[in-house]
Every structure is written in structure tokens, then in C-alpha cells.
Amino acid sequence: MHQKKKIAVLGATGSIGRSTLDVVRLERERFEVHSLAGGSRIEPLVEAAREFGVKRVAIADAAKHDELARALREAGLGKTEVLAGERAAAELAADPDADMVLHAVVGAAGLRPAFAAAAAGKRLLLANKESVVCGGELLMNAVKMGGADLYPVDSEHSAIFQCLAGAGEEARRGARLILTASGGPFRGRRDLSGITPAMAVKHPKWSMGRKISVDSATLMNKGLEVIEASWLFGFPADRIDVVVHPESIVHSMVEYADGSVIAQLAMPDMKTPIALAMGWPERIDGGTAKLSLAKIGSLTFEEPDREVFPLLDIACRALREGGAATIVLNAADEEAVAAFLDERIGFTDIFRVVEETLEDCAGLGAPRSLEEIFEADRSARRAARLIIERLA
């Protein structure tokens, strides 16, 4: 029996974090939860800390330190160490005792923990796509320099990782990536007026956090994923395609020079890519239902509607442009989605905020450090907020 792998679960109280804990529950002989990090909610964090008996717990909201410490004491976890503040999750990511870091914090707040895990040479199971979109080459270099192993958790990227497994340099050179997209809740609509937050977060196939659900509804999520795929696998924008596949059974594909297409299929359940990242090169059963193609009957595919959903192309343009464009894109989107969820702006205003912020921040140079990424992120948020105020 080999030693249990110790995992730091960042974003533990969210959709991916909870699915990760589900996988650990099934594989207690192999994995142990070493630490947990959340944003601001205490109750689910303490609940998970109690169940898994973790050594360290972090909360991003610094004002919640004492309340969390008290709640842990009352739960009989007086010895559990409490960390609080915006650097707390990064500290857990770099903890020498943790073997793996499952990173499912939402948004650019995930940058610091991603760089910390990379520098500490961890096995990094990465769901937080925003850190790849903003970190780009700097993050990929940090992974290399730190000797870390990065396994994507985003389902499309997990699929591509599997479809590329075993392909040598030559084979990759002539290949194209084909990302599948569910199309979101508004697929087929020509008119996106009158969409409320409640409508936008109700995804037809996946149950996810609110931010990524809105991104799926605008197709920004697919734009972010094209950028993510480009950095993770070293493919330029013009060798990455997107096809809409409403059943969400084919999670993505790779087309090779000979016309062969390798796809990965599974029921839509994030426990599959999470378990893959935890176990690779072994495959462990994370509890996802097995696929029955006969029951499903047919799989359908269509072109994305790039006119009604302009953010897909806008994101691809930002990738081609380089510099700080993808950081600006991400920051503007985070601000716009938050404003939409607060009912300060309408659904299609998200498109305007992103597009105009990119115009306002055009020409920002490529960052040379993590701190410069934060600088670009801050300037873009300032510009986006001004646009939001005007629209609100």
C-alpha cells in the first residue's frame, strides 16, 4: 500500500471543490484532504474541515478570521490552523506537506495560488481557468521552472489532454484542437433581451458556480477555454476550433493531419476530469455514471452563433493580440458578470462592457511578472467600472 496523497482543496466550498470532496470520499485509502480554502462562507468550510479532519483552513475574507477560528473551536477543531486574507490560499498551495493542489477558486483571485503551486513544484489540478487566461506564458514558465505537473480539470482540456496522450511532437504539429460547447441556456435564440440572472445561471447540462454559468450563457466561457487551451497545449488560436454539441457527451477532440479525430466521451459530470487529474496515469472511478450511447441515441453538432454571441470571437481576438489583452478581457468580464448578477446592467451589456474595456485598454504591454498582471487587471477593472456606471 503506498502512502496517501495529501490534497489542498482551494475553492473547497464551490461546485468543483464539493465534487472533489466527493471523489475523495470514494478513495479514502489513496487520498487525504490536507487543507481547505474558501472565499467568505464559514459554515460549509467548517463542515468539510470537520468531516475530513484537516490541518489548515484558509478564508480569503480577512475580516472573517476570528469568526472562522471560533466556529472551528466549537466544532472540536481547536488545533486546526486558520489563515485569512488574499494570500491565504496561496500559502496552502505552497505548503510543503501537500502533495497536490486542487485549484477551484473562481476568477483572477486564483492567480496567486496558481503561481504559488507552480513555484512549489506541486501536482496542480487546475480548474481555475482565469489564472491561465491571465497568467499565460508567465504561468507556463513558472510551472516549468518550479518542476510542477499541471493537470487540467476543465472538462474540455481534460479531454484534449487524453486525446493528445501518446502523440509525439510531429503528430501534434499537424493537429487541430476541437473544443465542444454545450451552447448554454440560450442556444438557438436570436434575441437576448430580457434575460434575468436566474435565467442565465440555469444551465441545461452542468450545475456550476454562478460566474461560470453566466460565462457559459454568453459563450465567454468557450472564449476563455480557447485561450486556456492555447497556453496549456501550445496551440495557436487558428488551430483551435469550437463546435456546439448540446448533449455534452463528447468533451473535446483532436484532429490529426491524416483526418483522424480522437474524442473523449463521458457523461457530463466534473468528477470524471477531477478523478483523472487526481489519479493520472492511473484511472480511478470518481463515481460518474457510466455512459450508455444506445440510451442517448444520437449526438448532434452545430456551428456556434458568433453573431448573437460575440464574446467568443472577441476572446479569440484578444488571444491573437497578445500583450495584456487577455487579462483585460478577463477583468472586464468578471466586472460585467458581477454587475449583471447584481442586476445593475442587462445581459447583453456584458458584451459592451468587455468590448469597450478592450478598446479603452488597447496597447497595454505584456506583463513581466505576477505583480504586473495585477496592475493590468486593476486598470482594466477601473475602465470596466466606468463603463458599467454609464450603462447602469
Binding site for Mg ion (CB under 5 A): 154-156
Q: Choose the one of ligand NDP, Mg ion, none that binds residue 121, judging by a C-beta under 5 to 8 angstroms depending on kind.
A: none
Q: Which residue's CB is nearer to Mg ion, number 209 or number 323? A: 209
Query: Which of ligand NDP, Mg ion, none lies near 256, with the C-beta cut-off 5 to 8 A by kind?
Result: none
DSSP label at 292?
-
Stretch 186-215 residues interacting with ligand NDP (CB under 6 A): 206, 208-212
How many residues does the structure list for the chain? 392
Count other C-beta atoms under 10 Å from residue 15's C-beta. Answer: 19
Q: CB 56 → ligand NDP: shortest distance, Å?
A: 14
Query: What is the grid cell recorded at 67?
Result: 469568526
Q: What is the Cβ-side half-sphere exposure of residue 115, based on CA atoms within 13 angstroms?
A: 19
Q: What value, to the nearest 5°, has the Cα angle with vertex 133 and ends 127 and 139?
A: 85
Residue 17 interacts with ligand NDP (CB under 6 A): yes or no: yes
Contact pattern from residue 84 through residue 103 relative to ligand NDP, giving x for each residue in contact according to CB under 6 A and a dash for the rest: -----x--------------
Q: What is the DSSP letter of 285?
A: -
Q: How far is the CB of 156 from ligand NDP (least distance, A)?
A: 8
Site for ligand NDP in 44-83 (CB under 6 A): 60
- Residue 50 burial by Cβ neighbours in a 10 Å radius (0-12, 13-18, 19+): middle
User: In this complex, which beta carbon is closest to ligand NDP, that of residue 110 or of residue 146?
Assistant: 110
Question: Cα dihedral angle (331, 37, 7, 54), rounded to 10 degrees?
Answer: 180
Q: Is residue 57 a contact partner of residue 68, using CB atoms and an 8 Å limit?
A: yes
Contact 217, 137 (CB under 8 A): no
Least distance in angstroms from the C-beta of 169 to ligand NDP: 28
Q: Please, what is the minimum distance in Å from the beta carbon of residue 19 to ligand NDP?
A: 8
Find the DSSP H helices in 234-369: 271-279, 293-296, 311-321, 325-341, 349-360
Choice between 80 and 221, CB closer to Mg ion: 221
Site pattern 123..162 for ligand NDP (x: CB under 6 A): ----xxxx-----------------------x--------
CB 38 within 8 A of CB 45: yes
In this complex, which beta carbon is closest to ligand NDP, that of residue 11 or of residue 246? 11
DSSP class of residue 205 equals S
Q: Facing residues of 10 across strands?
A: 37, 103
| Closest distance to ligand NDP from the beta carbon of 9 (Å) | 9
Q: Which residue is nearest to Mg ion (CB)?
A: 154
- Does residue 281 have a cis peptide bond before it, meaning omega lies within 30 degrees of 0? yes
Determine if 114 is a binding residue for ligand NDP (CB under 6 A). Answer: no
Q: What residues numbered 215-274 form the site for ligand NDP, per CB under 6 A?
A: 270
Binding mask 320-359 for ligand NDP (x = CB under 6 A): ----------------------------------------
Measured between its terminal Cα atoms, the distance across the chain in Å is: 60
Give me the residues that bind ligand NDP (CB under 6 A), please. Answer: 11-17, 37-41, 60, 89, 104-106, 109, 127-130, 154, 206, 208-212, 270
